Chain A
C-alpha cells in the first residue's frame, strides 16, 4: 500500500517569513495530492491540492509543487501570519474507483511566532 512520509514534524517561523513542508510517497499509482490544515479539535480542512499532471499550483500565499519522478511534493506558505499556526497534513491517493482513500503523512505542527 501507499506510504507517505512528511517532514519536519514541527516548524516554527517568524511572522512574515516563509514555511516549507515536504512529503514523499511510495506508490507510483498515486495521482492526487491534497494538503489539509487541522486546527485543534476540528476536522481537516483542504487548503490546496495538486494532480499528477501538474507540476505546480498556487493560491494566493500558498503553493504546492510536485515532482513525480522523485515522488515528492511540497507545501510553501509565504508571508506567514499567526492564523497559519495549525497542524498540516499532506496526503496521497489515486483516482481509481474503489481505491480513492487518502493516505496521510504524519503531520507538521506549524507555529508562527509574532
Chain B
C-alpha cells in the first residue's frame, strides 16, 4: 500500500540557512499535518492543511512557513535556521480520523 513520502530523508544545514522539506500524502488523503520531534521527545504539531488551505496552526515559529499545492503535496519552508531547529520533521496525511505518518526528515543544523 502507498505510504506518505517525505524528502529529503536527511538534511544538514548551517545556522541562518534555509531548508525546504517536502511531503507527498497518501493518494486521496486531503489533509496534511506537520510535526516536529526533538530528541527523546514526543511529536509536536506545527501546522495543517485541508484542501490546500491552512486548517490549523500550532507552535510553528514565524521563521517557518508551509503550503499545500494543487497536487496535495506540501512543503515546509524553514528560514534563518537555528541550532534548536535540529529535529525530526514528520508529515502525516489523514483519512477519516486516522493520521498516517511518513518516515520523517532528519534535519541537523550546524
Q: What does DSSP make chain B's interface, helix, strand, loop or mixed?
A: strand
B48 near A42: Cβ-Cβ < 8 Å: no
A102 near B97: Cβ-Cβ < 8 Å: no
> 27 A-B pairs, CB-CB below 8 angstroms?
A34-B97, A34-B99, A36-B101, A42-B103, A42-B104, A43-B4, A43-B101, A43-B103, A44-B101, A45-B101, A46-B100, A46-B101, A49-B97, A49-B98, A51-B97, A89-B42, A89-B43, A97-B50, A98-B55, A98-B56, A100-B56, A100-B94, A101-B48, A102-B92, A102-B99, A104-B44, A106-B41
CB < 8 Å A-B pair total:
60
Tell whether A46 pairs with B43 under 8 Å between CB atoms, given A98-B55, A100-B48, A101-B33.
no
B90 near A43: Cβ-Cβ < 8 Å: yes
Q: Which residues of B contact A (CB under 8 A)?
A: 4, 31, 33, 35, 41-45, 48, 50, 55-56, 58, 90, 92, 94, 97-104, 106
B55 near A93: Cβ-Cβ < 8 Å: no
Q: Does A24 contact B (CB under 8 A)?
A: no
Q: Which residues of A contact B (CB under 8 A)?
A: 32, 34, 36, 41-46, 49, 51, 89, 93, 95, 97-107
A101 near B56: Cβ-Cβ < 8 Å: yes
A106 near B104: Cβ-Cβ < 8 Å: no
- How far apart are B100's CB and chain A's nearest CB, in angstroms? 7
Residue among A36, A93, A97, A102 with most chain B CB within 10 A: A102
